[in-house]
Structure 1
Amino acid sequence: MSVDEARAWLAEVISGPDRLRLESVDGAQVVAVAGPDCLELRLDGTISGPAMFWAMDLTGFVAVTVLIGPAPAMVLAHSSISFLEPAEPGALRVTAEVIKLASRSAVVDARASDHRGCLVAASTLHFALPSRAARAALRAEHAAQASS
């Protein structure tokens, strides 16, 4: 998928197009910016952990989708996240790269930086994928709908 195709697809699957804006798509790597308005803040004024995780999870999901095409049955199967620094309020920049793509799973490395450019979180995301046959059937269905 190109960055424009990924943006159009993302607008269909999440509400509020300003929640996550795709900056670039380069092969297996996607760069996106979340917020600042949609990111929940903790009582101390920093971006909450769940808000950072949401942005990293969604950016990783987009990175896999860019490579394999839309797969509604794709789910996050496992993840680990390290919160490294408090994230100052503002936009959160997330870089996600697919580091392993297999027939039924994908592994993504994601990193989040706050508006100062400070690395605030790092995550490994494991996505379970539908079978290749199921993905091919879905692509054929979408192509048929687009041509009608």
Structure 2
Amino acid sequence: MQAVMSAEEMNAFLDDVFPQVKGAFVVEHLDGVNTVMRMRISEQHLRPGGTVSGPTMFTLADVAAYVATLACIGREALTVTTNCSLDFMRKPVSGRDLIAKATLLKLGRNLSVSHILIYSEGEDMPVARANMTYAIPPKS
């Protein structure tokens, strides 16, 4: 699988298509198989006790799988999640951004499957892992 978009092009695309979260996500690397994304964590992402919320981690996994898919198929904004399995494994480190490392496992005509590991910035052990399946819109 080969990337048809660069990290810079993908960041611009995300800002254009999802202006409501502009700047919250940064694609740091993509090559058609592997994607590395940063989610900037702020007060709005925390739950009581100061840890990053589960919905925030789900969002990062979902966006990372979306980016991994679009990196290979191009600008298909209507590519959508059809399945997700998410395991929360440990508490994220408070005050640090989250880093998602997504691997595109399968890219078919209609579906893509990705595996995502989420880390607190600077940590070696993942805080969560996800498997995501995306539906790819048919070509017109």
* TM-score, scaled relative to structure 1: 0.84
The partner residue of 2:65 within 60, 74, 96 is: 60
The structure with the greater share of residues assigned to helix is: 1
The number of equivalent residue pairs is 133
- Aligned to 2:67, what secondary structure does the other structure show? helix
Alignment of 1:123-138 (within 5 A): 123-131=130-138, 133-134=139-140
The partner residue of 1:98 within 87, 104, 120 is: 104
- 1:18/1:73 CA distance change after superposition, 3 Å: closer
Which residue matches 1:75? Answer: 80
Question: Deviation above 6 Å: which 4+ runs of structure 1?
Answer: none
Which residue matches 1:121? Answer: 128
The AA in structure 2 aligned to 1:34 is M
Q: CA RMSD in A?
A: 1.4
1:67-108: CA deviations, max 9, x gaps? 001112211001100000011222000011110011100001
Given that 2:32 and 2:104 are in contact with CA atoms closer than 8 Å, whether structure 1 keeps it comes out as no
- Aligned-partner Cα distance in 2 for 1:100–1:113: 23
- 1:66/1:39 CA distance change after superposition, 3 Å: farther
Given that 1:31 and 1:96 are in contact with CA atoms closer than 8 Å, whether structure 2 keeps it comes out as yes
The partner residue of 2:54 within 49, 53, 58 is: 49
Which structure 1 residue ranges, 5 or more long, are not aligned? 135-148
Which structure 2 residue ranges, 5 or more long, are not aligned? none
The partner residue of 1:19 within 19, 24, 34 is: 24
Residue identity (%): 27
- 1:39/1:61 CA distance change after superposition, 3 Å: farther
* Alpha-carbon shift at residue 39 of structure 1 (Å): 5.4
- Bigger relative CO (Cα 8 Å, ≥ 6 apart): 2
Structure 1 residues 36-45 or 54-63, which shifts more?
A: 36-45
Which residue matches 1:145? Answer: none
